[in-house]
Structure 1
Amino acid sequence: MRRKLRYSIAATAVFAAAVYLNNTDRLASHREGKPVLLAHRGIAQRFDERNLTNDTCTAARMLPPKHDYLENTIRSMRAGFDLGADIVEVDVHPTTDGEFAIFHDWTLDCRTNGHGVTREHSMAEMKALDIGYGYTADGGKTFPFRGTGIGQMPTLAELLQTFPDRRLLINVKSRDPSEGEKLAAVLNALPAERRELIMVYGGDEPIETIRRLAPDIKTASRASLKACLLGYIGYGWTGMVPQACKNTMMLVPVNIAPWLWGWPDRFLNRMEAGNSVVFALGPYRGGDFSTGIDTPEMLAKLPADYSGGIWTNEIEAIGKLRGN
């Protein structure tokens, strides 16, 4: 009995040592270089993020502005790249005349002087809107950007033409699979070398459609993120990468990252071997994957020599901290 117990203890110790050696970051090949910065919506006006719901008008909760950029505009994206962004994230909606509008909100009423569901308008109609109309930092007493956003809502075609060699992340703002079909058609019409610089994320249904019709595009959805994270936490210690973690964009909140086997370098190397890219986010607290690495304190939660991706809402601050 004692001999069997000793064998059992020895086998357990060997197994634990093997798991440790297979996953310790100390033995991983270190990834050199600076982190890759992703600017959420280019440069945007910040807002009070407390108690947000899907219907919250964030433009009406704007914090006192530090700059005059409006999100999802060509000017804001160009400034984001100039300040150190390697990738800019934009939001798209299909229009009634076959375009894709670059605009965040599901409806026009919050941010613009228009009304109704965004995707139920033509691009010509939305080009006439003032996208700075609804921004206020004092409860509606003043609207500092009114009149400055007329004609500033770009199309996806304009974005691709303006930044032909820049990396982009496109956010599909719906759960409509037909939107995935339309966007896949646009992406498949681009040269292969251009498609390599584009990633797409959004609702489960349109993203699944894009994965099927444009399989070379890296994608992410809530379903794929959950499947990848749970699968990797569950059996990533073996060195195996779940299928859900392949050819994807992986978003990793800083409070979940320490639970990932081999974080950071071994994990990043495994994801790269699966043709995937990783971006660190702010802490996940049961809401959307949208909080960013926006302050020096949050940046300090990442390893000092971290070289993976960083999602930020404050490219103007984080770009400087990275050394740009």
Structure 2
Amino acid sequence: MGWKLKFATTAIIAVAAGVYINNTSLLAPHQGGKPVLLAHRGMAQRFDERDVKNDTCTAARMLPPTHDYLDNTIPSMRAGFDAGADVVEIDVHPTIDGEFAVFHDWTLDCRTDGHGVTREQSMAKLKMLDIGYGYTADGGKTFPFRGKGIGMMPTLSEVLATFPDKKLLINVKSRDPNEGETLAGVLNALPAERSRAVMVYGGDEPIEAIRRLTPDVRTISRAAIRSCLIRYIGYGWTGLVPAACRNAMVLVPINAAPWLWGWPDRFLARMNGVNSAVFVLGPYSGGEFPTGIDTPEAFAQLPQDYSGGVWTNEIEAIAKIAGKVAGTSRD
């Protein structure tokens, strides 16, 4: 019996050693460079995020403004890129006259002087609205952006034309597969090099349509990211990458990252090898979508010399910490 025990022990040690060698980040090549920064909504007004639900009017919970930009506008996107963003996230809604409006909310009533469901309007009508109308930081006593956002809601076509060489992340707000098919048509009409600089995330159904019709565009949905991470944690030690993680935008909550085999360098290399881009978010606690890496304390949780993607709502502050602005560095 002794030799059997020795054989089993040796086999277990050999397997453990193989798993370690196959997954340790210490033996993986380090991808140099600075982090890839994603500015959520460009340069945006921040708001009190406590107990925020899908239907919360965040414009009415605005924090005292520190800049004059309104999210999802051309100026806010330009400011995000100028501040150090490599990618800017925007939200889109189809309109009844065949355009895609770039605007965050499902309805107009919170932020604008209009009313009704955003996608039930014409682009011509949306262009007439004041998108800064509803912002207030003092419970409605003052509205610092009222009158300053008239005509500032852009179309997706305008955004693509304004930033022909910039990387964009498009958020599809619905669960309508027809919207995914329509957006796929827009992306397929772009030059191949341009479409590859676009990523798309959102509802499972439209994302599935885009993934099927525009295979060169990296995508992710809530179901896909859950499948990607759970399956990778389950068998990623083998070096196999789940289908949901391939040609994807892999969103990683910072508190889930240590559970990923080979984090960070080997994991990043594996995702890069299947044409996927990794972006770290704030911690996930089982509720709403995680927030971004928005504070020095959150950024400090990233591995030293981390060169993957970082999702942030505070592009100015995080770009300075990450050394993406001239004259600054992480140190």
Who is 2:329 aligned against?
Answer: none
1:54, distance to aligned residue in structure 2 (A)? 1.2
Deviation at 1:7, TM superposition (A): 1.1
Matches within 5 A, 1:83-232: 83-232=83-232
Task: Decide whether the 8 Å contact of 2:283 with 2:290 is kept in 1.
Answer: no
Q: Which residue of 2 aligns with 1:31?
A: 31
Which amino acid in the other structure matches residue 305 of structure 2? D
Paired residues for 1:16-27 under 5 Å: 16-27=16-27
Q: Does structure 2 retain, via aligned residues, the 8 Å contact 1:101–1:154?
A: yes
- Asked if 2 retains the 8 angstrom alpha-carbon contact of 1:281 and 1:289, the reply is no
Residue 315 (str. 1) matches residue 301 (str. 2): no
- The DSSP-based 3-state class of the residue aligned with 1:89 is strand
Counterpart amino acid of 1:170? I
Secondary structure at the aligned position of 2:76 is classed as helix
1:61-116 Cα deviation digits (max 9, x unpaired):
11111111100000000000000000000000000000000000000000001001
Amino acid at match of 1:64: P
Say how many residue pairs are matched.
Answer: 324
TM-score scaled by length of structure 1: 0.99
1:44-63 correspondence runs (5 A) = 44-63=44-63
2:216 corresponds to which letter in structure 1?
D
- Separation in 1 of the partners of 2:69 and 2:154? 14
Please tell me whether the aligned partners of residues 95 and 121 of structure 1 are also in contact (alpha carbons under 8 angstroms): yes
* Runs of 4+ in structure 1 over 4 Å off: none
Q: How far 1:55 moved relative to its partner? A: 1.0
The superposition leaves residues 278-319 of structure 1 with CA deviations (integer Å, 9 ceiling, x where unpaired) of 001110111333410111100000012000000000001111
Aligned partner of 2:300 in structure 1 is 300
Q: Does 1:73 align with 2:111?
A: no
TM-score by length of 2: 0.97
**2:238 counterpart residue number:** 238
Partner amino acid, structure 1, of 2:276: S
- Mapping of 1:254-269 within 5 angstroms? 254-269=254-269
Aligned AA (2:161): Q
- Is there any run of 5+ residues in structure 2 with no aligned partner, and where? 326-331
One-letter amino acid of the structure 2 residue matched with residue 292 of structure 1: G
The SS at the match of 2:146 is coil
Q: Helix, strand or coil for the counterpart of 1:199?
A: strand
Cα contact 2:38–2:309 (8 A) shared by 1: yes
Distance 2:242 2:57 in 1: 38
| Deviation for aligned residue 1:3 | 1.6
- Output the CA distance in 1 between the equivalents of 2:126 and 2:265: 45
Residues 280, 293 of structure 1: 8 Å contact kept: yes
What is the one-letter code of the residue matched to 1:322? Answer: A
Partner Cα distance (2:22, 2:211) in 1: 31
User: Post-superposition shift, 1:275?
Assistant: 0.7
Partner of 2:273: 273
Partner of 1:253: 253
Q: Distance in 2 between matches of 1:120 and 1:289?
A: 26
Distance, in Å, in 1 between the alignment partners of 2:265 and 2:287 is 27
Counting aligned pairs with the same residue, the percent is 74
2:40 is matched with which residue? 40
Give deviations 1:217-258, integer Å, cap 9, x for gaps.
100001110110011000000111111110000000100000
Q: Is the 8 A contact 1:251 1:289 kept in 2?
A: no
AA paired with 1:8?
A
